[in-house]
Structure 1
C-alpha cells in the first residue's frame, strides 16, 4: 500500500514507457569489414574527442608484413604489458609454424590468437560495437589488414586502491583484508577462502551508459535454486542509465521500498561474505564499490560482527547481549526519560526526583524540549564530524559536544539531566556493528520521543508495538525478517543473541541452508585425556 502511494505521489505509477514496461530492444550489429581503412575510420569516429584513446599502427612481422592497428584507452590499460609483451610479440622474428599453416589476411587472426599472443588469452570479435565494448573495458582491439575479424587482448591496468582493513568494520583478532573497488580483486578474496568448484560466480552488466559489472556469488548445493533465480530476475529487470555503486542496486532489488530497516546486508569484509555463502546465502558484488550485498538478510544478522566468531563463545555471547542492551538504551532512554519526568513522577525515587527538580528550577524549557534540542545538536555535531577531515572531525564532534553541553548548563538553558541522557544514548548507539541499523535507531528515537511527550508511557508502548508489527511484516527475499524468533526455530537460536561453541554448530540456519543442513560431524567437542595412559609423577616422552 505504501509503495503504491509513493508511486502515485511521484507521478510515475502506471505510466506507459516505464523501464519495466519497455520490451527488450535487440542489440544493434555493425559487422567489421575486410577494408582496413574503413574499419580504422569507423573506430576513430567512435572514439572521436576521447583524449585517452590511442591508435597505434604497427606491422605483423610475417613473410608478407601486414598492417595492424592497436586501439586502446591508456587510462584503463597496462602500458608495460602493451610495450613489453604485445608489441614485442608482434614484431618478433619469423615464426616457426606448422607446415599446414600459412599466414594470410584470412588466417592471421587465428595465427595471432594461437601462436603469437596465446600467453595473453586473446579472443576474437566480428562486430564493431562489440569491439568498442571490449576497448571500453580495458582491453586492446587489434585490427588486421584484409581481415574482418578483430583480435581482443586483455590488458586491464590503471590505478587501484590497495587491499586494506575496512575502516567501518574494524577487527582485532580476525583477518585484516577488505573489499576494494575492483570486482576481480573482490572475487579473488572470496576464492581464497572458498577453494571449491561449487562456488559459482555469474556476471551481468547493469546501466545503459555505465555498463557496470555485477557478480552473483553462491555455493552450489547450499543456496536454494529458486532463491538464486529470484536474485537473477530482480537484477535483470533493472533498466537504468547508470549504476555507480551497490546502493543503486540495493534500492531496486529490496522487498520493500519504504522501510527504515535494511533488508539487504552490506559489508566490506570478505570473511563475513564467505561465512554467509556457507550458510546458503547469496552475495552480490558491484564493480567500483567495496560494499558487498548479502541476501537474504535478517534483523539478528545486523547485530552480529565478524569478530564474534574469532573469540570464545562466552565472550561472544556477552558482547552480543551487551549490544542488545545498548540498542534498547539508544532507542528508549530519551523517550523513557521524558515520559517518566513528565507523566510518571511516581516511578522516580523521592531523592532523585528532588535532585532533578532542584537542577531544573531556573530552566525555561520543559524536559521534552531540552532533550529534543540536545539530540538535534548532537546529530549536527555527528554529521559535522563525519564530513570534516579525519584529523579534526573526531575532535570537533567530541570536544564540541562537551563544550556546548557544559556551556548550555552553565548558562541556565538546560539542566544536567538531558546532557547525561543524550551522552549515554550516543555512546550506546555507537555499539551497533552496522551503520544503517544505527541510523534507523536514530530516526526511531525521535519518533518515540514525540510519542512519549504526547502520551507518556502509553505512547512508548504504542510506538514499540508499531515497530514490532512492521518488523514482523518484513521479508528479505521471502525470508521472515525476525527469524529465527518469528517464526520460532529453536535449532537456529544457537547463533542469535547467544553463540554456542563451534563444535556445537552442527547444522546450518534452517531457513537458508535447507539443502545440506548438516555442516559438520557431531561429537567434536573438547575431551579430557584418559587418565589410564598417564602415570603419576612421570611424563610421557
Structure 2
C-alpha cells in the first residue's frame, strides 16, 4: 500500500511539473516554437502572423476546414490590424472592444491551445502576453437532420440524431426546455479527445445513477473513441452477456422520453446513436410509436411483438425437435405431408435447419452491406432463387423453407437492432439443443436463458424489472400500454425518485363537456 501511494504521488508530481512546463510564455517566439514542434508535418494547421495596429506581433493559429475563415477575416484579423491603440491595450481589452466574437475562452497552457485548435476554435497569441484566447469560430461540414433509418415510424417525429454533438444536444433542448435538464461534458480518448455529454434531468434522475455513469466513463482509458459502441461495450455490467444492457437510439424523442423517466442519456461526438441507461428487457421491446397512437392498438401490436419474439427464438428449434423426436405430437395428415416433402432430402432436420439459417443470415448481411440500390433486390431475389433451387435440388424441404422464412419475418418485428441480433445469435444453440435432446433440450435452453436474464442487471437495475421483481404500479407500461391519463407515475429505477409525472384525474369526461374528471 505504501508503495502504491508513493508511486501515485510521484505520478501526480510528474503531471504537475509537466503542466508547469506547458504554461505559455510572454515571449511569442518561444510559444510558437513549442506549437510548431508539436504540429510538425501538419500541413492543414495554419499559423497566420499579423501585427496589431501595425506594431505588436501576434499569431492566429487554426486548422483549415475546421474554422470559419470568413468570420476570422471579418471579425478578428481586420479590426485588430486596423486597431489604433497598438501596444497601449491588452489582449483582454482588445477582445472586449475590438474583436466581435461572442464566445471567447482564455488559454494558459500549450495543452489548452492544442485542445481548442483541434476542436476548431482558432487561438490568438500576442507578444508580451503569457496567455492566449480561443475564439468560438469552429465550423465544419455536417450531415443534415434526417429521419432515422433504423427506427422509422409511421406516426411520430421524423428527426434523428446526427454525428455533431452540438446538434444532438440542441435537439434534446428543443424538446425539454427546462433548466433542470443538465448536461455534463468530458473528453475520453488519448488521441481522439472525443467529447462525451451526460444528459439527465435534475430532480428526476437518481444522483447515485448519475455518479455511477460518470465514474464508469472516467475509468475508460483508451487511445480513441470513434463511436458510441466503444462506450457501450466498456460500461456494461456483464460484458459477456449476449443481451444489450444499454439501449441505443437514433431518435431524440426516445431519448427525451427516457430522460423524463429518470434515465441518463449519453451522447458521443461523431456518433448518431445516443445511449440510454439503465434499460430493461421490456424497454428494448417497446417502440416510440407505441406512445403516438391509440393505446388499444399499441397494446395489441405490443402483444403481437412479444409473440413474434418468441417465434423468432424458438420456431426452428421446435420444428427440428418435433420432426426428429416427437412425431406423435403432429397430426397424421400433416406428418405424412412433411414426410413426403422430406423424402428426397439427404440431411437430417438439424443439418437442414442450420443450412437454411446460415444462408438466410448471409443474405441478410449481404443486403445490409451492399449499396442501397441493389441491397434489397439481392436479398429478396436471392432468398427466392436459392430457396426454390434448394427445394428442387432436394437439399431442403419446403416446410423448412417456410419455417426459416417465418422466423426471419418474426425477427424483423423487434424494434431494437442489437436486441434482434442477440435473438438471432441464440437461435443457433437452441437448434443444436433441439437436434440432440428434442424438446427437453429446448426447455433446458429456455431455463438457461431465463436464469441468465434474472441475474442480469443494467446499472444495478434488474433486467426483467418491473416484472421480476414485481412492481404492480410500473406494470401499466409493460404487457400493455395504458392510456396516457393512467400513466401518472414514473418507473421506479434506483433510490429516491420523483414519483408523479402528471396531475391526478386526467381522464376525459364527456358528461362535463370534455373536461377532466
| TM-score normalised by the chain length of structure 1 | 0.90
Partner of 2:345: 363
- 1:41 Cα deviation from its structure 2 partner: 2.2
Please show how residues 44-443 of structure 1 align to structure 2 within 5 Å: 44-61=36-53, 65-92=55-82, 94=84, 104=87, 107-117=89-99, 119-443=101-425
| 2:25 counterpart residue number | 33
Deviations 1:128-152 (A, max 9, x none): 2221221111111111122222121
TM-superposition CA deviations, 1:343-373 (whole Å, max 9, x none): 1111111111111111111211112211111
Cα shift at 1:126:
2.1
Q: Which has the higher helix share?
A: 2
**Alpha-carbon distance, 1:127 to partner:** 1.4
Other-structure match for 1:8: none
Q: Distance in 2 between matches of 1:198 and 1:502?
A: 23
Structure 1: tracts of 5 or more residues without a match:
1-15, 96-102, 532-541
- Rounded to whole Å, the distance in 2 between the matches of 1:441 and 1:515 is 33
Contact kept in structure 2, 1:198 and 1:221, CA below 8 Å: yes
Question: Match of 2:101, SS?
Answer: helix
C-alpha separation in 2, matches of 1:326 and 1:126: 60
Measured after TM superposition, the shift of residue 82 of structure 1 is: 1.5
Task: Give the conservation status (yes or no) of the 8 Å contact 2:262–2:493.
Answer: no
1:455 aligns with 2:437: yes
Q: Counterparts of 1:52 and 1:393 in 2: how far apart (Å)?
A: 38
Deviations, residues 400-446 of structure 1 (Å, cap 9, x unaligned): 01100101111112110110000000000011100011111111111
Report if aligned partners of 1:280, 1:513 keep a CA contact under 8 Å in 2: no
Structure 2: segments with no counterpart, 5+ residues: none
DSSP 3-state at the match of 2:87: coil
CA distance in 2, matches of 1:26, 1:185: 35
SS in 2 for 1:262: coil
3-state SS of 2:510 partner: coil
Give CA-to-partner distance per residue, 1:324-354, whole Å, 9 cap, x none: 0110111010001011111111111111111
The alpha carbon displacement at 1:89 in A equals 2.8
Counterpart Cα distance in 1 of 2:94 and 2:37: 26
Please give the alpha-carbon distance, in whole angstroms, between the structure 1 residues aligned to 2:409 and 2:365.
Answer: 15
- Contact 1:279/1:513 (8 A) holds in 2: no
Given that residues 298 and 481 in structure 1 are in contact (C-alpha distance below 8 angstroms), is that contact kept between their aligned partners in structure 2? yes
C-alpha contact (below 8 Å) 2:188/2:221 kept by paired residues: yes
**Residue 65 (structure 1) shift:** 2.9
CA displacement, residues 274-326 of structure 1 (integer Å, 9 cap, x when unaligned)? 00000110011111111111100100000011111111101111111111011
- Residues 72-109 of structure 1 deviation map (CA, whole Å, 9 limit, x = unaligned): 001211122212222233234547xxxxxxx637x421
The offset of 1:385, in angstroms, is 1.0
